[in-house]
Amino acid sequence: MAAISKRALHCEGVLTGAGWTTATCEAAARALAKDFSPLSDMRASAAYRLQVAQNLLRKFHLESAGVLGAAPSRLYEFTRIPA
């Protein structure tokens, strides 16, 4: 969504210390809207870019929960990374 990488601090805040559930994933996906303000251009609208980012998080949740096929290969734990 941008030329420079940026941490999703609101999203991290939702995930830190929370169980990796569908409800937590949805709350984290909503929090991405507070972290990013994508631009619209001729390739994609801002709403589309945000939705793609949210859907990538949802896909990760399904993959890590083993819903999309193979069992998860590791346990994911969210911890706060120093700023």
Mind listing the pLDDT tens digit for each residue in 42-54? 989 989 999 999 9
pLDDT of residue 12: 94
Residue 35, in any domain of the structure: yes
Residue 4, in any domain of the structure: no
Residue 76, in any domain of the structure: no
Residue 80, in any domain of the structure: no
SS3 31: helix
| Residue 5 confidence (pLDDT) above 60 | yes
Residue 59, in any domain of the structure: yes
Cα-to-chain-centroid distance, residue 69: 20
pLDDT of residue 77: 56
Round to whole Å and give the CA distance between 29 and 51.
9
Residue 20, in any domain of the structure: yes
E strand or H helix that includes residue 47: helix 46-64
Round to whole Å and give the CA distance between 70 and 76.
15
83 versus 73: the higher-pLDDT residue is 83
The arithmetic mean of pLDDT across residues 54-64, rounded, is 89
**pTM of the predicted model over 0.85:** no
Round to whole Å and give the CA distance between 77 and 63.
14
pLDDT of residue 9: 94
Name the residue range of residue 23's domain.
9-64
